[in-house]
């Protein structure tokens, strides 16, 4: 009786249509290393440019934001923050949390595949309420989440070149096209972080600090992952279309 186990599993069509070679992998590694070194070397300037964009966007929507220098992990970083109510359990924040839980429940009911994620988001809101009841110091000011946001996004900027090297550069027909994707996504990440950060500041100022753990995760790291996946799908689609047109 012949074996039912295949001796070899064919690669996905996205890899079969774009041949991989050691030269391209070496070039992608060099590009990722150079871009990571650039972000690390000019990190202070990148954060300042990021914060300047945040301030300009806040002025456009009449949100009173201001820069502040804060010491985090032994070094000084500049962040943008807004005034907020030191009491996280205000009537506005309680109503906002209740509305948020209702929306999450509706999404979970309408989209069964999203129920696992929705359950996790509910847990974030519940633990935020518990933290507010316990008087957690982090839930008394937007400044704490502003500092965490800048540090988290800077770490994302540092890791993006390695991620784009694996997902974009080595799968492109040419190294030049992969370099465009890598640099373009890095620049987009800085601008996109500033746009989202304005929303975080607005939520903290108007709806209360209690909702910031939820916003920081869903509008922060989760959105970063979704953005990378969306760009990956788009790049593979364009590569397949251009390869078929040859």
Report which of residues 178 and 6 the model is more confident about.
178
**236 has pLDDT over 90:** no
Do 215 and 199 contact (CB within 8 A), yes or no? yes
pTM of the full predicted structure?
A: 0.83
Domain coordinates in residue numbering, the chain? 20-86+140-244
Ranges 41-55, 116-130, 166-180, 214-228: which has the least confidence? 166-180
Token digits for 76? 């000084």
Token digits for 48? 């300042």
Report the b/e string of 161-189 with b at 16+ CB within 10 A: bebbbebbbbbbeebebbbebbeebbeeb
E-strand stretches of the chain: 65-72, 75-82
The DSSP line for 9-52 is PPPPHHHHSS---HHHHHHHHHHHHHHHHHHHHTHHHHHHHHHH
CA–CA gap between residue 222 and residue 218 (Å, rounded): 5
Mean pLDDT of 30-41: 94
Residue 69: the pLDDT is: 83
Report which of residues 88 and 11 the model is more confident about.
88
**76 has pLDDT over 70:** yes
Residue 74: the pLDDT is: 61
**23 has pLDDT over 90:** no
Residue 5: the pLDDT is: 62
């Amino acid at each position: 009786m012949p074996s039912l186990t295949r001796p070899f599993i064919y690669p996905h069509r996205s890899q079969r249509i774009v041949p991989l070679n050691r030269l391209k992998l070496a070039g992608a590694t060099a590009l990722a290393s150079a871009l990571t070194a650039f972000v690390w070397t000019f990190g202070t300037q990148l954060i300042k440019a990021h914060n300047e964009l945040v301030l300009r966007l806040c002025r456009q929507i009449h949100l009173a934001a201001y820069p502040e220098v804060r010491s985090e992990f032994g070094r000084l970083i500049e962040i943008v923050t807004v005034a907020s109510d030191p009491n996280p359990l205000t009537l506005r924040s309680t109503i906002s949390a209740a509305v948020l839980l209702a929306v999450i429940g509706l999404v979970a009911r309408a989209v069964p595949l999203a129920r696992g994620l929705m359950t996790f988001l509910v847990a974030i809101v519940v633990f935020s309420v518990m933290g507010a009841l316990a008087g957690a110091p982090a839930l008394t000011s937007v400044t704490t989440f502003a500092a965490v946001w800048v540090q988290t996004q800077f770490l994302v900027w540092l890791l993006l070149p390695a991620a784009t090297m694996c997902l974009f550069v080595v799968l492109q027909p040419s190294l030049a096209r992969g370099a465009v994707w890598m640099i373009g996504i890095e620049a987009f990440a800085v601008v996109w972080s500033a746009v989202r950060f304005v929303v975080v500041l607005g939520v903290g100022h108007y709806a209360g600090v209690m909702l910031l753990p939820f916003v920081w995760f869903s509008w922060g790291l989760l959105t970063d992952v979704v953005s990378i996946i969306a760009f990956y799908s788009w790049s593979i689609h364009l590569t397949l279309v251009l390869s078929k047109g040859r």
